[in-house]
Amino acid sequence: MTTKLELVTQHVRAVPDFPKPGILFRDITPLLGHPEAFAASIDLLKDAVADLRVETIVAIESRGFLFGAPLALALGCSLVPVRKPGKLPHAKRRVEYALEYGTDALEMHEDAIRQGARTLIVDDVIATGGTAEAAAELVRQVGGEPVGHAFFIELAFLEGRKKLAPLPVRAVLTY
Ligand code: AMP
Protein backbone atom coordinates (compact mmCIF):
# COMPACT_ATOMS: atom_id res chain seq x y z
CA MET A 1 0.00 0.00 0.00
CA THR A 2 1.22 3.49 -0.86
CA THR A 3 1.52 5.72 2.19
CA LYS A 4 0.41 9.36 2.13
CA LEU A 5 4.04 10.42 2.29
CA GLU A 6 4.99 8.23 -0.69
CA LEU A 7 2.00 9.56 -2.62
CA VAL A 8 2.92 13.21 -2.14
CA THR A 9 6.62 12.56 -2.81
CA GLN A 10 5.72 10.96 -6.16
CA HIS A 11 3.80 14.10 -7.19
CA VAL A 12 6.51 16.73 -6.77
CA ARG A 13 8.54 17.32 -9.91
CA ALA A 14 12.13 18.57 -9.81
CA VAL A 15 12.88 21.00 -12.67
CA PRO A 16 16.58 21.83 -13.16
CA ASP A 17 17.71 25.36 -14.00
CA PHE A 18 14.37 27.09 -13.35
CA PRO A 19 13.87 30.05 -13.02
CA LYS A 20 17.62 30.43 -13.59
CA PRO A 21 20.72 28.24 -14.02
CA GLY A 22 21.70 26.31 -10.91
CA ILE A 23 18.24 26.33 -9.24
CA LEU A 24 16.44 22.99 -8.86
CA PHE A 25 12.80 24.08 -8.81
CA ARG A 26 10.33 21.94 -6.83
CA ASP A 27 7.16 22.00 -8.95
CA ILE A 28 3.93 21.19 -7.10
CA THR A 29 1.61 21.29 -10.13
CA PRO A 30 1.54 17.46 -10.46
CA LEU A 31 0.33 17.34 -6.83
CA LEU A 32 -2.44 19.86 -7.55
CA GLY A 33 -3.53 17.74 -10.50
CA HIS A 34 -3.96 14.61 -8.39
CA PRO A 35 -6.83 15.01 -5.88
CA GLU A 36 -5.78 12.09 -3.66
CA ALA A 37 -2.17 13.29 -3.44
CA PHE A 38 -3.23 16.90 -2.81
CA ALA A 39 -5.62 15.78 -0.06
CA ALA A 40 -2.81 13.68 1.45
CA SER A 41 -0.53 16.73 1.53
CA ILE A 42 -3.13 18.68 3.53
CA ASP A 43 -3.68 15.73 5.91
CA LEU A 44 0.07 15.55 6.53
CA LEU A 45 0.32 19.30 7.11
CA LYS A 46 -2.60 19.11 9.54
CA ASP A 47 -0.89 16.30 11.48
CA ALA A 48 2.40 18.24 11.52
CA VAL A 49 0.84 21.25 13.28
CA ALA A 50 -1.71 19.45 15.47
CA ASP A 51 0.11 20.36 18.72
CA LEU A 52 0.33 24.11 17.97
CA ARG A 53 -3.34 24.94 18.77
CA VAL A 54 -3.63 27.25 15.77
CA GLU A 55 -6.48 29.80 15.62
CA THR A 56 -5.49 31.71 12.47
CA ILE A 57 -3.56 30.80 9.34
CA VAL A 58 -1.60 33.41 7.46
CA ALA A 59 -0.97 32.25 3.88
CA ILE A 60 1.66 33.86 1.67
CA GLU A 61 0.90 34.88 -1.95
CA SER A 62 0.66 33.01 -4.17
CA ARG A 63 1.51 29.31 -3.81
CA GLY A 64 1.06 29.63 -0.04
CA PHE A 65 -2.66 30.18 -0.71
CA LEU A 66 -2.88 26.70 -2.27
CA PHE A 67 -1.88 25.07 1.01
CA GLY A 68 -3.05 27.68 3.51
CA ALA A 69 -6.69 27.75 2.39
CA PRO A 70 -7.42 23.99 2.55
CA LEU A 71 -5.41 23.73 5.79
CA ALA A 72 -7.51 26.51 7.37
CA LEU A 73 -10.70 24.63 6.42
CA ALA A 74 -9.27 21.34 7.73
CA LEU A 75 -8.29 22.93 11.07
CA GLY A 76 -11.43 25.07 11.33
CA CYS A 77 -9.45 28.28 11.71
CA SER A 78 -9.57 31.70 10.10
CA LEU A 79 -7.52 32.52 6.99
CA VAL A 80 -5.55 35.70 6.32
CA PRO A 81 -3.86 36.43 3.00
CA VAL A 82 -0.45 38.10 2.95
CA ARG A 83 -0.08 39.80 -0.42
CA LYS A 84 2.40 41.47 -2.71
CA PRO A 85 2.26 45.31 -2.56
CA GLY A 86 -0.75 47.11 -3.99
CA LYS A 87 -3.25 44.23 -3.93
CA LEU A 88 -5.07 44.74 -0.61
CA PRO A 89 -7.85 47.36 -0.58
CA HIS A 90 -8.14 48.27 3.14
CA ALA A 91 -5.79 49.84 5.76
CA LYS A 92 -2.63 47.74 5.83
CA ARG A 93 0.91 47.21 7.09
CA ARG A 94 3.94 46.58 4.90
CA VAL A 95 7.23 44.81 5.65
CA GLU A 96 10.20 44.92 3.27
CA TYR A 97 12.69 42.07 3.09
CA ALA A 98 15.96 41.36 1.32
CA LEU A 99 16.21 39.24 -1.82
CA GLU A 100 19.40 37.98 -3.45
CA TYR A 101 19.32 41.16 -5.55
CA GLY A 102 17.32 44.05 -4.09
CA THR A 103 14.23 43.98 -1.85
CA ASP A 104 10.62 42.87 -1.97
CA ALA A 105 7.65 43.61 0.28
CA LEU A 106 4.54 41.95 1.70
CA GLU A 107 1.34 43.52 3.01
CA MET A 108 -1.42 42.49 5.41
CA HIS A 109 -4.67 44.19 6.45
CA GLU A 110 -4.31 45.87 9.86
CA ASP A 111 -7.55 44.36 11.16
CA ALA A 112 -6.92 40.84 9.77
CA ILE A 113 -6.00 39.08 13.02
CA ARG A 114 -7.78 39.07 16.36
CA GLN A 115 -5.42 40.45 19.03
CA GLY A 116 -3.31 37.64 20.50
CA ALA A 117 -4.64 34.97 18.11
CA ARG A 118 -2.33 31.94 17.82
CA THR A 119 -1.16 32.28 14.22
CA LEU A 120 0.51 29.79 11.87
CA ILE A 121 2.36 31.11 8.81
CA VAL A 122 2.02 28.87 5.73
CA ASP A 123 3.87 28.76 2.41
CA ASP A 124 4.61 26.09 -0.18
CA VAL A 125 8.40 26.14 0.09
CA ILE A 126 10.94 27.51 2.55
CA ALA A 127 14.22 28.39 0.89
CA THR A 128 16.24 31.09 2.72
CA GLY A 129 13.34 31.88 5.07
CA GLY A 130 13.27 35.59 4.23
CA THR A 131 9.67 35.57 2.98
CA ALA A 132 8.36 33.68 6.01
CA GLU A 133 10.31 35.91 8.39
CA ALA A 134 8.68 39.00 6.84
CA ALA A 135 5.23 37.41 7.21
CA ALA A 136 5.88 36.68 10.91
CA GLU A 137 6.87 40.32 11.39
CA LEU A 138 3.57 41.42 9.82
CA VAL A 139 1.66 39.13 12.20
CA ARG A 140 3.41 40.77 15.18
CA GLN A 141 2.77 44.27 13.83
CA VAL A 142 -0.98 43.70 13.63
CA GLY A 143 -1.16 42.11 17.10
CA GLY A 144 -1.25 38.37 16.37
CA GLU A 145 0.94 35.81 18.12
CA PRO A 146 3.05 33.76 15.68
CA VAL A 147 3.19 30.19 17.04
CA GLY A 148 4.92 28.47 14.12
CA HIS A 149 5.61 28.06 10.43
CA ALA A 150 4.41 25.27 8.16
CA PHE A 151 5.66 24.48 4.67
CA PHE A 152 4.87 21.72 2.24
CA ILE A 153 8.58 21.59 1.29
CA GLU A 154 11.70 22.58 3.22
CA LEU A 155 14.97 23.12 1.34
CA ALA A 156 17.01 22.24 4.42
CA PHE A 157 20.43 22.94 2.92
CA LEU A 158 19.55 26.66 2.79
CA GLU A 159 19.02 26.64 6.58
CA GLY A 160 16.00 28.94 6.41
CA ARG A 161 14.62 27.60 9.70
CA LYS A 162 17.52 29.26 11.55
CA LYS A 163 16.09 32.63 10.51
CA LEU A 164 12.69 31.71 11.99
CA ALA A 165 13.95 30.45 15.37
CA PRO A 166 12.71 30.10 18.05
CA LEU A 167 9.37 29.48 16.32
CA PRO A 168 8.77 25.81 15.45
CA VAL A 169 9.11 25.01 11.74
CA ARG A 170 7.16 22.05 10.31
CA ALA A 171 7.47 20.60 6.81
CA VAL A 172 5.97 17.59 5.02
CA LEU A 173 8.91 17.02 2.64
CA THR A 174 12.56 17.90 3.17
CA TYR A 175 15.24 18.08 0.48
P1 AMP B 1 12.67 32.26 0.68
O2 AMP B 1 12.18 33.64 1.05
O3 AMP B 1 14.10 32.29 0.21
O4 AMP B 1 12.44 31.25 1.79
O5 AMP B 1 11.86 31.81 -0.59
C6 AMP B 1 10.64 31.24 -0.46
C7 AMP B 1 9.81 31.40 -1.69
O8 AMP B 1 10.55 31.11 -2.89
C9 AMP B 1 8.67 30.45 -1.65
O10 AMP B 1 7.49 31.19 -1.76
C11 AMP B 1 8.85 29.50 -2.82
O12 AMP B 1 7.67 29.50 -3.56
C13 AMP B 1 10.00 30.04 -3.64
N14 AMP B 1 11.11 29.08 -3.91
C15 AMP B 1 12.41 29.28 -3.60
N16 AMP B 1 13.19 28.28 -4.01
C17 AMP B 1 12.39 27.38 -4.60
C18 AMP B 1 12.60 26.11 -5.23
N19 AMP B 1 13.82 25.54 -5.35
N20 AMP B 1 11.53 25.46 -5.71
C21 AMP B 1 10.30 26.01 -5.61
N22 AMP B 1 10.04 27.20 -5.05
C23 AMP B 1 11.06 27.91 -4.54
Q: What is this structure's pTM?
A: 0.97
In a domain, 67, yes or no: yes
* Residue 18 pLDDT greater than 80, yes or no: yes
Which of 125, 151, 161, 163 to mutate for ligand 1's pocket (most ligand atoms within 8 Å of CB)? 125
Kindly report whether the peptide bond that precedes residue 85 is cis, defined as omega within 30 degrees of 0. no
Tally of structural domains, the chain: 1
b/e map of 25-40 (b: 16 or more CB within 10 Å)? ebebeebeebeebbeb
pLDDT in tens, 110-126: 999 999 999 999 999 99
* Residue 100 pLDDT greater than 90, yes or no: no
pLDDT, residue 22, reads 95
Lowest average pLDDT, out of 1-10, 96-105, 136-145, goes to 96-105
In a domain, 34, yes or no: no
User: From the CA of 1, how far away is ligand 1's center (Å)?
Assistant: 32
Count how many Cα atoms sit within 13 Å of the Cα of residue 21 in the half-sphere of its side chain.
Answer: 0
CA-angle at 169, arms to 163 and 171, nearest 5°? 125
Share of the chain above pLDDT 70, in %: 100
What average pLDDT does this structure show over 152-174?
98
User: From the CA of 126, how far away is ligand 1's center (Å)?
Assistant: 6
In a domain, 132, yes or no: yes
Is beta strand 145-154 parallel, antiparallel or unpaired with respect to 103-109?
unpaired
In a domain, 150, yes or no: yes
Nearest CA to ligand 1 atom 18: 25
What average pLDDT does this structure show over 137-157?
98
What length does the chain have? 175
β-bridge mates for residue 173, sequence order: 153
Exposure of 93 by Cβ count < 10 A (0-12 exposed, 13-18 middle, 19+ buried)? Answer: middle
Atom of ligand 1 nearest to the CA of 126: 4
Q: Kindly report the CATH number assigned to the domain that includes residue 90.
A: 3.40.50.2020
In a domain, 14, yes or no: no
In a domain, 33, yes or no: no
pLDDT in tens, 47-84: 999 999 999 999 999 999 999 999 999 999 999 999 99
In a domain, 19, yes or no: no
In a domain, 36, yes or no: no
Give the distance from CA 104 to its chain's centroid: 17
Residue 124: give the domain boundaries.
53-174
Instruction: Identify each DSSP E strand in 83-117 by its residue range.
Output: 92-98, 103-109
